[in-house]
A and B are shown apart, each in its own frame.
Chain A
Amino acid sequence: MPTLVSHPDEVKVISRRFGQGAADIEKYLELDGYKAVQRAIAEGPEWIINTMKASGLRGRGGAGFPTGMKWSFVPKVSEKPKYVLVNGDESEPGTCKDHVLFLHDPHSIIEGTMIAGLAIGSRLGFIYLRGEYRYLLKIVEKAVADAYAKGFLGKNIFGSGIDFDIITQTGAGAYEVGEESALMESLEGKRGVPRIKPPFPAVVGLYGGPTVINNAETIANAPHILLMGGEAYAKLGTERNGGTRLFGISGHVERPGVYELPMGYSLRKAIYEVAGGIKDGKKLKAVVPGGSSCPVLTADEIDVGLDFDQMGKAGTMLGSGGIVVLDETVSIVEFALRVISFYQHESCGWCIPCREGTDWIKKTLTRVHAGGGSKKDIDNVQYLAENMMGRTFCPLGDAAAMPTLGFVKKFRKEFEEYIDGKRVDTPLITIDQLVGAH
């Protein structure tokens, strides 16, 4: 069972029910559960969307798209049924926040799904969890069943005359399915390969119908926002970055864990105060600030606020909120190789720049890491990564290229040390080890 952590700087909105047994519907009801959805029914779709817009909530999956605006893009009238899709395929390395959310507050996700449904005029929502999260799927399934038993889901919810159903779904192991259109393919019983956009899901999504797809944390924010008011939520964060978010701080820190911090909170403080500083008194070397796809920050670059815009200005991304901390002992070459190996493994093979690029970079870095590279290899890795950017259907190609560029540009010296034979590590990567690499 994941350990719950706490720190005085936390602002608990979405995590306020953690550790209180709120997976139980009675406890959830005691803690203001299912009040927001009733308010939403009373006030109507326009009010919901305006409140969400005012909250400044931006997508917590990583892209940071304003949620209220996303909901407003769904056409009011549609011949095909509309759907709400909750993305709980949490797979970005360094990210485990939805894990905690599903475990401690599954009803907030159900209630949020209902609210999104009311906002766009949908009658059916799906909650999709990655296949590895079976024990969490059980928890969500029980929560959904309990909500049906209470009459909160199904026909005529809360006497509104509106029907709303929720189906839970399991994946079966695929990072790529976390991408919204690939997730829809998977939910339609197909290989999780991405669709070309446009059309966007808000117009043509699941089963060809208009679809709102949101990350589980994004959806779970909706009930809190409706109860506290959009402006009040927005004020917790920074300009254009409303509210709080769950940050999973992992790697070389003293107190790893999932913490809820206001948007814009200092990255330095998150590492040194909230997570207790670098493990065993070592020095900080680098930070991957928002899941493995985000360009690395060096130890000198951490005086930055954790919101989408400030992180963008710093040349990286807020991403999924998974902050991975590297101490001075870490070999960046080895780390970069592990990251690209992941993306090479997970590339679905649909787009050639991603399929070939990840493989080629992995092979090159394997050679460099084993002490057999040449200076040209570093330029070649950079050239490959630059040419993957923006040339694929989905962002997996970018997700592989961006961190690679960061490592090569900011730690070029370390790559050169390997090539000059000043550093040789035992090759680490054991999956598909290259034969005769030297």
Chain B
Amino acid sequence: MTDTEPASTASQTTTTTAGETDEEVRAEWTDYRFDGQAKLSVENLNVWYGDDHAIKDVSMDIPENSVTALIGPSGCGKSTFLRCLNRMNDRIKAARIDGSVELDGMEIYDSNANLVELRKRVGMVFQSPNPFPKSIRDNISYGPRKHGDINKGLLARLFGRDDTAEETELVERSLKQAALWDEVSDRLDDNALGLSGGQQQRLCIARALATDPEVILMDEPASALDPIATSKIEDLVTELAEDYTVVIVTHNMQQAARISDQTAVFLTGGELVEYDDTDKIFENPASQRVEDYVTGKFG
């Protein structure tokens, strides 16, 4: 891979409020430390789509049980970065990934990494709600059933391993966690496509929770929803952060400010420009470009 690697990116010489270059700012935030253990630790991550260098040398540590927001203008690579965290980019043939991502100290890009286990531990919610054309119940239990955690059917019954009761419990727990139980408890066997957009998105969150993940990646989960549904999702994210590590991509800066504990700002070109506590990013960013972006002068 090294021989095809493009020449190192030309360093930009934009100065900051304090007269520092981006390089210096970056050196500063690389030192950003938080109390406790890093759940996800990204080192020198680079992604190319063909010749397009989508993510440039990004390093960041994501703390446990918190909400980390990724913000930045369209095309800055924040979704690509998110999809690297559970190796969803493996599905794109043109993508080439270089660098290291560690989950609890274990390298997920290791050639021996177990993708099933990784994605069970790192769940994902997509931009537009994408429930399967199945019943609400089947949507929730789909993952655990395919992983063999829940057994149903003739053989399971024959071996006395029928998990119908566990399934019912799991469906109820997941839907309650996703704050959807009250709305759908009497129609679990209806097709999920009959739900409203906001309900569908919460169903997708419930579906991701059903595999009992540790990290939940959310790719603009509220961008296709109306304000009321959005606020429900936001409340949910805040609640989830008590038990899960949430990484959320958003276009909406108010949303990032409202729900996240720390914020990473990607700017055009796939660079991580600044990463710090959310309050600091929105009130006193180190980089001039970040200040321009969060105050709406740019991007």
Partners in one complex: no
